[in-house]
A = this chain, B = another copy of it.
Amino acid sequence: MIVVLKPNTTEEELNAVVQEIKNLKYEPHILRGVELNVIAAIGDERTHHTLETLTVFPQVERVMPVQSRYKLVKRQVHPANSVIQVDHRVPIGGKKFQVMAGPCSVENEKQLLTTALAVKKAGATILRGGAFKPRTSPYEFQGLGQEGLKLLAKAKQETGLAVITELLSEQHAELVAEYADILQIGTRNAQNFQLLIAAAKTGRPVLLKRGLSMRIEEWLLAGEYVIANGNPNLLFCERGIRTFETYTRNTLDLSAIPIIQQESHCPIVIDPSQGAGRADLVMAMCKGAVAMGADALLIEVHPNPAEAWSDGAQQITLDGFARLMQELKPFIAVAGRE
């Protein structure tokens, strides 16, 4: 930690800080600068008490940590890319580019199967569909629950697609893990640490969406909860952050792709549907994501978006999805993926 003192601090004030640094088991080194003094406190920041509390001393201007707070998600502990095996057969994070697609919510058998068959035909390998839905208002459709999970199982059986679905309650962890090949943690639960732990403990791959206003560091630390609880099958998913812009529902931060790849060994997935909140932007977003090196896409597809039970405005049609997959092919090739 670097402790910056205010200009004109007396020796006595400096010593008080030095003493507290020693109390907290760091080794202080005083650096006398031209305008002000700085104390470098040597010690492992991840196991010691933070020194950020020293700002309660009026003579302390600022305290700056120097170590990154995450360990297990970090690229340095695992220099190669982690390849996550979904359902023991669909690898994410390797050479092969994967597409997960399906409706925002599972509504009924016909809607789900029609969509599953169509997305499979177009090239998707994983079926998405919400059975438990976190909704901003209690008066909105909350998902079919277990019935939705059973429909997903049926669609999996008929199409061979693996299944990703959202987990939104610790109490459903077992149940959802029974049906799902990937557990999705939604943006509003991205720092619901109890849920992350429950998801981790199922052993299933966990796709962790970035919280609406989560800094990269916080996202990596939330991922750290998964791996630190014994589950290395972690996928990060960027789905748009909240900014001042109102033209789109969220601002898709595609720079998360190279950043996650630099900081972490875990795969990075892009969700352009949530990211834009508008079906007409999905195509361009997908091309950008592929070109920038994303490992997979998560796309909302619905047979009739105008009558979808949730988030219709951002879902694309079955035909639209087929066209999208067609147009993406050359970009996938140029990006060095299959």
Q: Could you say which of A29, A38, A70, A291 has the most chain B C-beta atoms within 10 Å of its C-beta?
A: A291
Specify which of B221, B246, B335 is in contact with A137 (CB 8 Å cutoff): B221
Contact B243–A246 (Cβ < 8 Å): no
Contact B243–A33 (Cβ < 8 Å): no
A222 partner residues in chain B, CB cutoff 8 A: 136
- Report the bound CA distance from A312 to B63 in whole Å: 12
Contact A20–B306 (Cβ < 8 Å): yes
Q: Does A46 contact B (CB under 8 A)?
A: yes
A215 partner residues in chain B, CB cutoff 8 A: 244-247
Contact A251–B247 (Cβ < 8 Å): no
Q: Does A35 contact B (CB under 8 A)?
A: yes
Contact A281–B259 (Cβ < 8 Å): yes
Shortest distance from the beta carbon of A266 to any chain B beta carbon, whole Å: 16
CB contact under 8 A between A52 and B247, given known A69-B139, A292-B284: no
Q: Does A55 contact B (CB under 8 A)?
A: yes
CB contact under 8 A between A38 and B53, given known A248-B255, A292-B288: no
A315 partner residues in chain B, CB cutoff 8 A: 56
A218 partner residues in chain B, CB cutoff 8 A: 136
Binds B, one of A85-93, A120-128, A163-171: A163-171
Binds B, one of A2-10, A147-155, A174-182: A2-10
Contact A216–B66 (Cβ < 8 Å): no
- Taken residue by residue from 13 to 49, chain A's Cβ proximity to chain B (1 for < 8 Å, 0 otherwise) reads as 0000000100110000101111110101011101101
Shortest distance from the beta carbon of A337 to any chain B beta carbon, whole Å: 13
Shortest distance from the beta carbon of A104 to any chain B beta carbon, whole Å: 11
- For this complex, 8 residue pairs linking A to B, each with C-beta atoms less than 8 Å apart, are A46-B137, A55-B313, A56-B313, A69-B139, A136-B222, A168-B193, A258-B285, A262-B280
